[in-house]
Amino acid sequence: MDRSNQHKVKPYLMTRSLLPENQETPIQFIKGDIMDNKLFYRRNHFHYPTLSYSNYRLPINGMVSKSIMLSLQDILQLPSKTIRVVLECSGNKRSLFEPKVFGEQWDKGAISQGYWKGVQLSTLLELSGIGEGAKEIVVEGYDFGERKDLNRVFSYARSLPIEKALHPDTIIAYEYNHQPIPFKHGYPLRLIVPQWYAMASIKWVKQINVIDSNFTGPFQTIDYVYYPNKENNNDAFPVTTINVNSTIQKPLDKEILNTGKDVIKGIAWTGKGFIRKLEVSVDGGITWLNTKLEPTKNTGYGWQYWSYEWTISKKGEYKIMSKATDSYGRTQPKIPFWNKKGYGYNAIDKINVKVE
């Protein structure tokens, strides 16, 4: 027997915590436009919920013309669309803030992309009708648990302003990469809100509620809020749109290279428009070089691969940086926008390598 063929070499999720399960993607090893479920980062607030699928119904209530209750069968029969979407945890790259912030120490892999298929949320809201004076759509998940800071049990729930809820690409999804959504990612139904950080894309959708006020759940008023000051909560504002960002996938930070030809490559993404330019620097930001954006048929709300052919002629240490600019002219800052809870990190990405 030759067992030497049995040694597949593959990356795994990187475990941050198990209860709740928070594991991140080894983003440096990801390629292609479909991410394997096994490498899709997992971000939870609570234990996994228990759902009964046999009599699953989705209620739409509140300020509606008529309350309705949809079966999965009902939803599958409605017109659908499929969109390529980046889901990025707003805490992605949190570990890079200086000074350090507390909370899950995500490195660069709390991000995914894939194809989500579902029905437009606006289609569902047309069925129920939206009452006059309606202001926000609250979506609640089946996941719940105690918040020790408030000493009370909460479901995971958040609202969207009407305009965002009615955006044609805000969908209630039932497929991920042409398969039923994996349980850990929200089976049977997940709200997908392209261009917003992924705390908005609620898993295991339990109900939809139309309200005429501003929703004040803790996952909107306490968490997922930018607090720019360490000592107080002044100037706070909510986390919504994904910042323009990029990540170097290759080489690895602190990698030892040799002289000759090498390739620097990575991904870039934004929550507004599309990536227009990706520059790299191999001299710590003194000079910037344009990279090749990989042509894609339909990037949609996905990320953009980029690469740069680097000819290394001299030994020594190099600081490599990547800087994305989107079609709205937003560009990655040199210094991250520090905030107490560590959301939305998007400073110019950087790594160090040594050439021997």
DSSP secondary structure letter of residue 199: G
19 counts as binding a copy of itself under rule CB under 8 A: yes
Q: Considering only 99-107, 169-177, 265-273, 275-283, which stretch makes contact with a copy of itself by CB under 8 A?
A: 99-107
128 vs 155 by CB, closer to a copy of itself: 155
Task: Please report the sign of the dihedral spanned by the C-alpha atoms of residue 194, residue 200, residue 202, residue 205.
Answer: negative
Q: How many residues bind a copy of itself (CB under 8 A)?
A: 51
Q: Are strands 81-88 and 111-120 parallel, antiparallel or unpaired?
A: antiparallel
60 vs 75 by CB, closer to a copy of itself: 75
Return the number of other C-beta atoms located less than 10 Å from residue 23's C-beta: 20
149 counts as binding a copy of itself under rule CB under 8 A: yes
Q: Which residues pair with 318 in a beta bridge?
A: 353
Terminal Cα-to-Cα distance of the chain (whole angstroms): 41
Report the C-alpha gap between 328 and 324 in whole angstroms: 11
Q: Which 3 state secondary structure label does DSSP give 9? A: coil
Binds a copy of itself (CB under 8 A): choice among 167, 184, 272, 277: 184
Report the C-alpha gap between 135 and 213 in whole angstroms: 6
98 counts as binding a copy of itself under rule CB under 8 A: no
Find the binding residues for a copy of itself in span 316-355 (CB under 8 A). 317, 352-354
252 counts as binding a copy of itself under rule CB under 8 A: yes
> Exposed, middle or buried: residue 334 (CB in 10 Å: 0-12, 13-18, 19+)?
exposed
Q: Which 3 state secondary structure label does DSSP give 34? A: coil
Smallest distance from the beta carbon of 83 to a copy of itself, in angstroms?
A: 24
150 counts as binding a copy of itself under rule CB under 8 A: no
Q: Considering only 15-23, 155-163, 286-294, 321-329, which stretch makes contact with a copy of itself by CB under 8 A?
A: 15-23
57 counts as binding a copy of itself under rule CB under 8 A: no
Tokens, residue 265: 């490559």
Largest Cα separation within the chain, whole Å, is 73
Binds a copy of itself (CB under 8 A): choice among 54, 73, 216, 298: 54
Which residues form the interface with a copy of itself (CB under 8 A)?
1-4, 6-7, 9-19, 21, 23, 26, 29, 48-54, 95, 100-105, 148-149, 183-184, 187, 252-256, 258, 317, 352-354, 356
